[in-house]
Chain A
Amino acid sequence: MATTFTQNIRGLFGGGGAATQDAAIETAALRSDRFRQERESDWKRLETIVGRMESRRLGKLSDQDVLDLPVLYRTVASSLSIARETSLDAATLRYLEALVQRAWFQVYGPRVGLWRWFLGFLGGRWSAAVREIWLDVLIALAVMVAGTLVGWLLVASDPEWYHALVGGQFADTRVPGASREVLRATLFGQSEQSGMSVFATYLFSNNAQVAILAFALGFAFGIPSLMLLIQNTGMLGAMLWLFNGQGLLVDFIAWLSIHGTTELFAILLAGAAGLHIGRAMAFPGKRSILEAAAEAGRRASTVMAGVVLMLVVAAILEGFARQLVDHTPGRFAVGGFMLVFWLVYFFAFRRKPQGAAGA
C-alpha cells in the first residue's frame, strides 16, 4: 500500500527523476498505449458530444460539433477495430465498445423529432399505411356490416336479445317497448345540456382505449379483433332495429353519423390494423414469424397513431356538434362531409415522399 501511495504521489508531481523517466520509456514501449495516447482526445470529444445529445442539451453543441459527429464516430469506430487487433488493454476496449455503441445510437437514432415525424405522418405516411392494409380494411368492413346485420336480425327474431347485445351503458331509456317520444328525446333537444366537453373527453379516452384494444388483440392472430368488431356492431344493429320500430331510423342514423362516420371509421381501421398483424403472423410467407410480425406491426402502428387522432375528432364532434346541430339534415351534412373527407384523404390523396403530388 505504502509503495503504491508513494508512486502515486510521484506520478502526481511528475518529478520522480530517473524512475519516472524509465516509466515514460516503459509506457512508450507498449505500442498500444501510444496508440491510445494519440487518439484519446478524439475519444473524449466524441464522448462529450454524445453525452450532450443524450441529455438533450443541444444548445451546448456548436455547429462544428454537429458536423464532426459522423467523422468522429467513424474515427472512433476504426480505433475500436484497430484496438481489437492490437491492444490487450481490456479497460480501453470496453470503453471503446461502450462509446461506439452510444455514438451509434445517436448517429443512427431516430433523427426526426416528434414534430417532424408528425408532419410527415399527416403529409402522406398515414394514408399510405392505410392503403397498404386495404385488404384488411375490406375484411374488417365486411365483418362490421355482417355484425350489424346479425345484431338487427337477432333482435328482430327475439327482442330479449337486445339486453344481451346492448350493455347497461346505453340501455337507459332506449329499451324495446319504449315510446316514440322517449326515444325521440334521446336524439333531439339536448343542446342545453352542460358538461359537453367533459363528456367529449371521456368518450375520447374510452373509445381510444377500445380502439387500442382492437389493435393489440390482433396479436392473437386477429380473431379477438374481429370478435370485438362484431360485438360493437351487433350493438349498433340492435339499436338500429329499436329506432326503426318507432319510425325514427333516419333520425337515428343522422344522430349517429355526425360523429359515427369518423368513429366507426376509426374502429374499422383499428380492427383492420389488428387483423393485419394477425394475418402476418398466421401466414408469414417466406419470412420468419418474427420478421413478419415486426414488419406488419410497424405498418399497423402508423395506422393506429392516426386512429387515436380520428377518435379525438370523433369525440369533439360527439360532444359538441351533435348537441349543437339539432336537426336531421344538418347532422347528415356534417357526418357526410366527414366521411367524404376521410375517404378522399386516405384514398385520393397520394403524395409521394419525394414531394411529387399525385391525383
Chain B
Amino acid sequence: MTAATNPLRKPGSDRERVLITPEGIALPLTLASRGTRFGALLLDLMIIGLLILATTLGLLFIGGEAVSSIEYNPTAAGRALQFFAVLWLAAMFLFRNAYFLFFELGPRGATLGKRMTGIRIAARDGGRLSAEMVIARNLLRDIELFLPLVFIASASGGGDMGAASLAATAWFLLFALFPCFNKDRLRAGDLIAGTWVVEAPKRALEPTMSAVATPSPADHAYKFGDTELAPYGEYELQTLERVLRENRREALASVAEAICTKIGWTAPGEGHERAFLEAYYTQLRAHLEIGMRFGTRKADKFEAGLVAKSAAAGTAFRFTAAELAVYGQAQLDSLERVLRESQGATMSTVAEAIARKIGRELPDTARQRAFLEAYYTQLKTRLRR
C-alpha cells in the first residue's frame, strides 16, 4: 500500500515509520541506524572525556595557584583545597549524569554527538517529549554503559578477577546488543522511557528542476505528445529529477538515450541531452500531475503500461460493479504481484480462479494477461473510490 501510494519512500527499508500529528498529517520518520547511534555515543564520550580533562587541569591550576598564595595560613589553604576537591567531585558527577540530560532536554532533543550525526530523540507514541522520558532514558544509561565499563576497568587492574570481569563483559554486551534484538532499535533506556531515536534531517529548499528549464531557441522543439509521455510513471520521474540534479554527463546521456529508444525518437545530439531531459521532465511532470488531479496516479512504468493498454484495449474487457465487488485490497495486491512476475502458469491459474468466481468464461491463453490487466485496472479504480 505504501509502496503504491507513496513512491517517494525507499522500498524495503525497515527503518521507516509514520507518525500521525494531531493535525492528521502523516509525517514519515526514519529511525537512526545503529551505526549512527554508536558514532554519536563515541563522539559524546570523547566530548565528556575532554571536558573532564579540561576541568581537572583547570582546577589543578587554579587550586595550585590559590593554595600557594595562602601557604602561610595552613587552615585557609586546607579549606581552599577542600573547596576545589568538592568542585571537582561535583563536576565529575555532573559530567557523568547531567551532560546527556541537559542537551536532550534542549530544543533539539539531541546531545552534541547526536547533533553532529543528525539524529535526535522523540517520543515513541508521537506525543510530547517530556522531561521524565529524558530522565528515565539517561538513568538507565548508567547500568548500560558506565557501570560495566568502570567495573571492567577496575577488574582488569586487579588481575585475579577473571570471572567477575567476564560477567561484567557479558552484562555490557547484553545491553550494548539490545538494539539489535528489536525492530525499533531501542536500547534498554529507550524501552523504559518510551522514546526512540530518529533521523532529524535538515534540508534546504532546492530549486525545482522544471523552473530551471530555460530551453534555448534551438532546443525549443522538444514537445512531447501524450503517447510519448505515457510510458513512464512517478518513480521514473523522480529518477529523472535525481539525474538532473546530480548533473553527470554520462548519466544524462544514457538516460536520454533510454527515453528516446522507448518513445521512438532519435537521441539528441551531443551537448543537448540536458535540455532534452529538462523538457521531458517538465512535460512528464505536468502530464502526471494532471493525472493526479483527476485521481489517477501512476507509480511506475508498470502501472503506466497498464493504463496505456487499458485505454488502447477499450471495451475488450469491461467488468460490472458486481463483478468487481467480490475482491478487496489483498487480492489487488497479489494480483499486482502476479502481473509483475509475469509467469504464464501462475497467470492462467489466477485468471481461471477469477473467471470462476465472477461467472465468466475463461479467455484463451493468449488473452489471459489482457484479461488480468483489465481486471486489475478496473478493480484498482473501484477500490480507490
Hey, which bits of chain A sit against chain B, CB under 8 A?
Answer: 1-4, 6-7, 10-11, 16, 18-20, 22-23, 26-27, 29-33, 36, 40, 43-44, 47, 53-54, 56, 74, 77-78, 80-81, 84-95, 97-102, 104-106, 108-112, 114, 117, 194-195, 197-198, 200-202, 204-205, 208-209, 212-213, 215-217, 219, 277, 290-291, 293-302, 304-305
Contacts and interface: CB of A to CB of B under 8 A. Distances in A.
B93 interface: yes
B222 to A, nearest CB: 11
Contacts of B89: 198, 201-202, 205
Nearest to B101: A114
B212 interface: yes
B285 A110 contact: no
A77 B26 CA distance: 10
A88 B135 contact: no
Contact of B140 (A89, A95, A114, A219): A219
B107 A53 contact: yes
B25 A32 contact: no
25 contacts: A1-B249, A19-B216, A22-B220, A30-B210, A43-B205, A56-B106, A77-B23, A91-B208, A92-B208, A95-B206, A100-B27, A101-B27, A105-B120, A105-B129, A110-B109, A195-B82, A204-B93, A205-B90, A216-B142, A217-B143, A219-B188, A294-B191, A297-B192, A301-B136, A302-B132
Given A112-B131, A213-B147, A7 B204 contact: no
Nearest first, the 8 closest Cβ-Cβ pairs linking A and B are A294-B194, A301-B136, A297-B192, A216-B143, A298-B132, A201-B89, A301-B135, A23-B214
Given A19-B216, A101-B27, A89 B210 contact: yes
Interface residues of B, number: 87
Contacts of B135: 301-302, 304-305
Contacts of B86: 197-198, 200-201
B329 interface: no
A269 to B, nearest CB: 13
Contacts of B285: 30, 32, 88-89
B282 A30 contact: yes
A216 B139 contact: yes
Chain B at the A interface: mostly helix, strand, loop or mixed?
helix
B128 A23 contact: no
A216 B241 CA distance: 50
B28 A298 contact: no
Contacts of B25: 77-78, 80-81, 100
Given A43-B205, A99-B203, 5 more contacts: A198-B89, A205-B89, A209-B142, A293-B194, A294-B194
B325 to A, nearest CB: 27
B107 A109 contact: yes
Given A3-B275, A215-B139, A219-B143, A109 B289 contact: no
A333 B217 CA distance: 97
Contacts of B208: 33, 36, 89, 91-92
B301 interface: no
Interface string B19-43: 0011101011100000000000000
B58 interface: no
Given A2-B271, A105-B120, A86 B210 contact: no
B213 interface: yes
B253 interface: no
B177 interface: no
A73 to B, nearest CB: 8
Interface of B: 6, 8, 21-23, 25, 27-29, 78, 82-83, 85-86, 89-90, 92-93, 97, 102, 105-109, 120, 122, 124-125, 127-136, 139-140, 142-143, 147, 188, 191-194, 200-206, 208-217, 219-220, 234, 237-238, 241-242, 245, 247, 249, 271-272, 274-275, 282, 285-286, 288-289, 292-293
Q: Quick one: which of B8, B147, B192, B249 has the most chain A CB within 10 A?
A: B192
Contacts of B90: 201, 205
Contact of A208 (B93, B107, B122, B201): B93
B191 A194 contact: no
A3 B128 contact: no
Nearest to B27: A101
Nearest to A47: B205
Contacts of B108: 54
A337 to B, nearest CB: 26
Nearest to A91: B206
